[in-house]
Structure 1
């Protein structure tokens, strides 16, 4: 990480990355037994990675869902439309947790998309252009 970040910002970025890893671990543990509950852990992990990326790129916390959505859309303009498509699937998982309106193949397809997004965001955090 370059000197342009304060120690506090660096610490916050690291905390978001650690939180994402912890939430993703919980997701993996519950995926087969309780997929809807697991999906909410994955959503939390994805949000934590967006927070870390926003801090690295802008030194700005997102905090609100609407700001995460805007940042996800902006990121997709640079990284490709697929990023926002994957975000929308992950966002649907968040709604499923509260409303329980999806099961079966649709749920599993969205879980797969959200996992792909998690991996892509994790990879972005490891690339030099964000450091």
Structure 2
């Protein structure tokens, strides 16, 4: 009986944070566009190149996750404040890491991701060249 009560209490404690997250209203600019069509076009273009951290396979423009709504809100607020899309991308990458951008930048931590495929291709070409040079 005591273990059943303990299990029930633990289950309620585990569920309460999940229910609290669903009651938070969306950010004002999560679903509302900016008044200036040029600014909204800039925001939309940027949002399509940023990854939703919850869904991971959708851009924040396409995702309905609360996290994506908050990110859309931040993008629109910052565009309206006069920041450039690249400044906003840099801020989001600094805050959430390089993974948030569909267009990663070459840096001290990401250069192996760009260099290793080239090295593998060079090695494969060298192997093929040796293999076909022996037959000729």
Is TM > 0.5 for Structure 1 vs Structure 2? no
Structure exhibiting the larger radius of gyration computed from Cα positions: 2
**Normalising by the residue count of structure 1, what TM-score does the alignment of the two structures yield?**
0.26
Query: Greater share of helix residues, 1 or 2?
Result: 1
**Normalising by the residue count of structure 2, what TM-score does the alignment of the two structures yield?**
0.25
